[in-house]
Amino acid sequence: MPFEIIRNDITDLKVDVIVNSCDPNPVVGGGVDLMIHQKAGEKLLSSRQKRGVLRAGETFISDAYELKAKYVIHTVAPLWIDGLHNEEELLKKCYQNSLELAKSNDCSSLAFPLIATGSCSFPKDRALSIAIREIGSFLLKNEMDIYLVVFDKTSFVLSEKLFKNVKSYIDDNYAKELKTRYQIKRFRSPSFDNIEFGSVALKEDSLEELLDELDDSFSKTLLRLIDESGKKDSDIYKKANVDRKLFSKIRNNPDYQPSKKTALAFAMALELDP
């Protein structure tokens, strides 16, 4: 079958090329972008830096280094605003340009994530319809084994409605575990030559180390994120199941060092998932 929708970790697929939905700037983003960079190794970031800034819909190809794939196609997804700013056309370009680039590099198999449905907030139903339509149009004239890799349950349920024989390789518990492991934070990583990550996933088992590397204190960063969320302080600390007394202590102490549990509670309350 030349086109399948599967539920899997895209970084584990042995195909000629996997598509990475990357940040416009040459930094490592969150979600799939981070997972791909972690498994590919530092050379992938070097390739991304040599290419420089990309605009929405643009693509380029690089080696996959330590991934099971041969190549990685990097494409910049459009940020969803309201559907009136050319978002759908730009998302179509992501698929069209990626497919043509794979074809020109003699790739016979390719795997896409569901582009733009993470931090870009593209509605999943629209994104899925665009993906299926563009891939289908390409396969009418070309031969290639193409996989659309969906991960979260919402996308999987949507794809099941369109395709009866969708394969599931990852159960809900594993998906939930990975989602918990990858929480967005900003920090500088010495393992990537102090390049600032754009939207970096936070591994639970190294949370304390990453907190130590934040440019601002935990207290200052937390208050800034609450302000950016547009919500009241009380909305966030109640959602994090933190009492007012502890929150007051955090607010008034710039040097406050949170426990792992408290930091994760605030990350989830702020909905910092990729």
DSSP 264: H
Burial class (CB in 10 A: 0-12, 13-18, 19+), 19: buried
DSSP 78: P
The CB-side HSE value for 5 (13 A sphere, CA atoms) comes to 23
Alpha-carbon gap, residue 39 to 35, rounded angstroms: 6
Alpha-carbon gap, residue 134 to 132, rounded angstroms: 6
Residue 131, phi then psi, degrees to nearest 5: -60, -50
Alpha-carbon gap, residue 131 to 112, rounded angstroms: 9
- How wide is the angle at C-alpha 208 spanned by C-alphas 250 and 118, nearest 5°? 90
The full DSSP string for 161-181 is HH-TT-EE-S-HHHHHHHHHH
Give yes or no: 212 in active site: no
Which positions ≥6 away from 164 have C-beta within 8 Å?
none
CA 232 to chain CA mean position, Å: 27
Q: How far is CA 217 from CA 112, 221, 236, 264, 274, in A?
A: 38, 6, 18, 15, 22
Alpha-carbon gap, residue 272 to 199, rounded angstroms: 10
Could you say which of 16, 23, 33, 152 is catalytic? 33
Q: Which residues are catalytic?
A: 33
